[in-house]
């Protein structure tokens, strides 16, 4: 089986059938958000282009769960109510150096969001740092494809498609952590 690559996109069957309302609505805003290194900067750009449709650090409590999942960003398309969980995935934690978002690590989480009838769109942190406008272009295209709302596509007509990146394995993540790889793209002047 080939290794997946970012951006990762998970579409609920109901969305394909034009049923947009979520089966599970957001439970609340995360009161103590732990923002990733690139989330503040990308979030500002996301908010600039998509405005009041963007909600950072919103929680989803799947049925039968005691603890909610927190979406990095929830985008709610205004005409259909389509919910998109937009995630920014880093290969390892700065604090613990442990692997994060490696192949298979988020499968169950993604399944919970898809079962709630939310689209899941996952970018690698390196993508949102090095090609943020291309990532926004993909978001606008996903919204247009499924809702026929093309209002954001014009802003990104000159942007190239986002360059794919292989998703890392847990082993690769450890190697990236040892080489302090995140600092190379987050702080390129250092």
Reported as a single tens digit per residue, the pLDDT across 100-121 is 999 999 999 999 999 999 999 9
Who wins on pLDDT, 160 or 185? 160
State yes or no: pLDDT of 168 exceeds 70. yes
By the 8 A CB rule, do 112 and 129 touch?
Answer: no
Per residue in 14-58, pLDDT tens? 999 999 999 998 887 766 667 777 898 999 999 999 999 999 999
Kindly report the average pLDDT of the chain as a whole number.
92
Its pTM stands at 0.94
Contact 75/60 with Cβ under 8 angstroms? no
Cβ atoms 93, 64 nearer than 8 A:
no
Q: Strands 118-124 and 83-89, how do they pair?
A: parallel
């Amino acid at each position: 089986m080939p290794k997946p690559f970012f951006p990762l996109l998970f579409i609920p069957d109901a969305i394909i059938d034009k049923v947009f309302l979520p089966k599970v609505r957001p439970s609340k805003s995360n009161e103590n958000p732990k923002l990733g290194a690139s989330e503040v900067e990308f979030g500002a750009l996301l908010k600039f282009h998509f405005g009041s449709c963007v909600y950072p650090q919103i929680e989803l409590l799947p049925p039968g769960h005691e603890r909610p999942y927190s979406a990095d960003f929830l985008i709610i398309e205004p005409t259909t109510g389509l919910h998109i969980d937009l995630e920014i995935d880093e290969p390892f934690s700065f604090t613990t150096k442990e692997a994060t978002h490696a192949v298979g690590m988020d499968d169950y989480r993604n399944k919970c969001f898809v079962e709630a009838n939310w689209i899941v769109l996952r970018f690698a942190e390196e993508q949102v740092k090095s090609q943020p406008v291309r990532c926004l272009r993909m978001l606008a295209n996903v919204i247009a494809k499924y809702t026929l709302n093309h209002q954001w596509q014009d802003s990104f007509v000159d942007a190239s498609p986002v360059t794919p990146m292989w998703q890392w394995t847990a082993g690769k993540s450890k190697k990236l952590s040892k080489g302090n790889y995140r600092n190379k793209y987050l702080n390129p002047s250092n």
